[in-house]
């Protein structure tokens, strides 16, 4: 669908609200009109050129808009992960796309409405639960517009919702933590039976991580003591560091976080106090490879890719979809860590994964 100058000028009108980049890609070649960091207000003409490029190089191609959370791109966030899925879809299907970074949550509904009212987008992807309220209003106003909501749910017929079975990935992380302690694969691991979990906030989504982590650890070591606390937000590394230090004082030598940017404080504590950490969402192992043993992957890139593929292939439906181990929606990786997990441990994790996929292991989604 051709991108118009009119639409890009509308988006550029958000100069105080968003950063916009348009990218057109056909096959293996690409025509880029600027980086995601360029601001529409600073470069309105370049945003218009992006629209022209999309129309000129990909006439008739599926055109996608993606609106990130206010946290924006950078810092190994799930926004970056969602964008990777869009980029892969561009390479595989020749779609074109525009990406928008709102300056605040209040701007998200404005951007959603402008994209929907333009009629230029075959699919509008909204990232994160913070966009649910705005999307509920906008999607109801434009019932013919197709939307995709990542990492949250919607009951609207024109919104395809994608979320992950965090508990399944966290189960593997917990099992790995217990196995690492049993095998004493690193000098930072003691013979105690205490590990920790730091969440961003105490809510059902984060507690799916906590419940799975606890279940996985106790599947391997039934007497494992799992300490659980919350930073109170996703951008408070100071509090997360304080919690981690407290956990260490209570005997924890492996700590897993699902706390967004707050988790950086936990990693800092790991380097200072000498415990083993587990990252989340993206592969965070390279941040501190001597201390981060693994990362639980929450593959929002798969969710974004699946949403676009459904439009390209004509199978789009507005329904809620949960992606777990069987769909490639979650996993665990030890790549880029200097803490050497043995082949036998990896084989045990793979066996557990297959048992979960087969339904032989039921993982709780709530803490008990």
pTM of the model: 0.76
Asked, for residue 344, whether it belongs to a domain, the answer is: yes
Place of tokens 């008990």: 368
**Does residue 121 sit in the same domain as residue 21?**
yes
Asked, for residue 367, whether it belongs to a domain, the answer is: no
| Overall average pLDDT of the 262-287 stretch | 95
Whether 45 has a pLDDT exceeding 60, the answer reads no
Report, in this order, helix, strand and coil percent for the chain, each rounded to 5.
Answer: 45, 20, 35
3-state secondary structure (DSSP) of residue 195? strand
Dihedral, CA atoms, 357, 334, 300, 92, nearest 10 degrees?
Answer: -90
Q: Is residue 255 a contact partner of residue 229, using CB atoms and an 8 Å limit?
A: no
- Is pLDDT larger for residue 181 or for residue 31? 181
The domain spanning residue 282 has which CATH number? 3.40.50.2300
**Does residue 61 sit in the same domain as residue 175?**
no
| Distance in angstroms (rounded) separating the CA atoms of residues 236 and 238 | 5
**Does residue 293 sit in the same domain as residue 174?**
yes
If residue 333 lies in a helix (H) or strand (E), which one and from where to where? strand 330-333
Asked, for residue 332, whether it belongs to a domain, the answer is: no
**Does residue 35 sit in the same domain as residue 128?**
yes
- The per-residue pLDDT of the chain, averaged, comes to 85
Whether 212 has a pLDDT exceeding 70, the answer reads yes
% residues pLDDT > 90 (the chain): 69
Angle of CA points 342, 280, 332, to nearest 5°? 35
**Does residue 184 sit in the same domain as residue 58?**
no
Asked, for residue 362, whether it belongs to a domain, the answer is: no
Residue partners of 354: CB distance under 8 A and separation at least 6: none
**Does residue 266 sit in the same domain as residue 322?**
no
Whether 166 has a pLDDT exceeding 60, the answer reads yes
The pLDDT value given to residue 59: 56
- Is pLDDT larger for residue 255 or for residue 103? 255
Q: Is residue 236 a contact partner of residue 265, using CB atoms and an 8 Å limit?
A: yes
Whether 367 has a pLDDT exceeding 90, the answer reads yes
Sign of the torsion angle spanned by Cα atoms 136, 141, 143, 147: negative
Q: Which of 6-10, 333-337, 344-348 has the lowest average pLDDT?
A: 6-10
What is the full DSSP assignment across 90-134? Answer: HHHH--EEEEEEESSHHHHHHHHHHHHHHT--SEEEEESGGGHHH
Asked, for residue 280, whether it belongs to a domain, the answer is: yes
Q: For 247-270, give one letter per residue: b (16+ CB within 10 A) or e.
A: bbeeebbbbbbbbbbbbbbbbbbb
Residue partners of 298: CB distance under 8 A and separation at least 6: 78, 81, 164, 166, 169, 280, 281, 329, 330
**Does residue 109 sit in the same domain as residue 224?**
no
Long-range contact pairs involving 247-250 (C-beta distance under 8 Å, separation at least 24): 247/194, 247/196, 247/198, 248/273, 248/275, 250/194
Residue partners of 46: CB distance under 8 A and separation at least 6: 33, 34, 38
Binning pLDDT at 50, 70 and 90, where does residue 11 land?
Answer: low
Q: Is residue 251 a contact partner of residue 48, using CB atoms and an 8 Å limit?
A: no
| Overall average pLDDT of the 215-239 stretch | 96
Burial class of 74 by CB neighbour count within 10 A (0 to 12, 13 to 18, 19+): exposed
Q: Which of 23-37, 60-74, 119-133, 349-363 has the lowest average pLDDT?
A: 23-37
Angle of CA points 176, 177, 183, to nearest 5°? 80
Q: Are strands 194-199 and 254-258 parallel, antiparallel or unpaired?
A: parallel
Range of the domain at 276: 166-298+338-357
Asked, for residue 252, whether it belongs to a domain, the answer is: yes
**Does residue 18 sit in the same domain as residue 153?**
yes
Q: Is residue 68 a contact partner of residue 101, using CB atoms and an 8 Å limit?
A: yes
Q: Are strands 320-323 and 159-164 parallel, antiparallel or unpaired?
A: parallel
Domain count, the chain: 2
**Does residue 62 sit in the same domain as residue 18?**
yes
pLDDT digits 0-9 by tens, 126-154: 998 889 999 999 999 999 999 999 988 89
**Does residue 183 sit in the same domain as residue 246?**
yes
Place of tokens 């600073």: 42
Binning pLDDT at 50, 70 and 90, where does residue 247 land?
Answer: very high
Q: Which of 44-48, 71-75, 300-304 has the lowest average pLDDT?
A: 44-48
Asked, for residue 333, whether it belongs to a domain, the answer is: no
Asked, for residue 138, whether it belongs to a domain, the answer is: yes
**Does residue 305 sit in the same domain as residue 342?**
no
**Does residue 141 sit in the same domain as residue 24?**
yes
């Amino acid at each position: 669908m051709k991108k118009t100058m009119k639409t890009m000028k509308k988006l550029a009108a958000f100069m105080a609200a968003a950063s916009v980049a348009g990218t057109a890609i056909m096959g293996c070649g690409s025509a880029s009109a600027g980086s995601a960091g360029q601001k529409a207000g600073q470069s309105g003409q370049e945003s218009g050129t992006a629209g022209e490029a999309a129309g000129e190089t990909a006439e008739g191609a599926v055109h996608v808009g993606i609106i990130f959370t206010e946290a924006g791109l950078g810092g190994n966030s799930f926004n970056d992960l969602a964008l990777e899925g869009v980029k892969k879809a561009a390479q595989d299907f020749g779609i074109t796309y525009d990406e928008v970074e709102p300056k605040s949550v209040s701007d998200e509904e404005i951007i959603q409405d402008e994209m929907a009212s333009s009629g230029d987008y075959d699919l509008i992807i909204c990232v994160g639960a913070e966009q649910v309220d705005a999307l509920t209003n906008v999607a109801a106003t434009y019932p013919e517009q197709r939307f995709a909501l990542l990492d949250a749910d919607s009951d609207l017929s024109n919104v395809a919702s994608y979320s992950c079975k965090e508990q399944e990935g966290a189960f593997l992380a917990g099992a790995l933590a217990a196995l690492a302690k049993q095998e004493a694969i690193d000098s930072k691991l003691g013979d105690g039976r205490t590990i920790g979990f730091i969440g961003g906030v105490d809510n059902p989504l984060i507690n799916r991580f906590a419940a799975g982590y606890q279940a996985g650890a106790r599947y391997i070591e039934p007497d494992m003591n799992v300490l659980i606390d919350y930073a109170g937000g996703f951008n408070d590394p100071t509090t997360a560091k304080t919690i981690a230090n407290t956990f260490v004082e209570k005997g924890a030598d492996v700590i897993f976080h699902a706390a967004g940017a707050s988790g950086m404080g936990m990693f800092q504590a790991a380097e200072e106090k000498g415990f083993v950490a587990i990252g989340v969402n993206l592969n965070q192992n390279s941040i501190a490879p001597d201390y981060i043993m693994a990362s639980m992957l929450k593959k929002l890139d798969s969710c974004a890719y699946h949403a676009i593929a459904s439009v390209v292939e004509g199978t789009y439906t507005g329904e809620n979809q949960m992606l777990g181990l069987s769909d490639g929606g979650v996993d665990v990786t030890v790549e880029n860590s200097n803490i050497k997990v043995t082949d036998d441990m990896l084989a045990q994790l793979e066996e557990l994964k297959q048992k979960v996929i087969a339904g032989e292991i039921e993982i709780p989604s709530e803490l008990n």
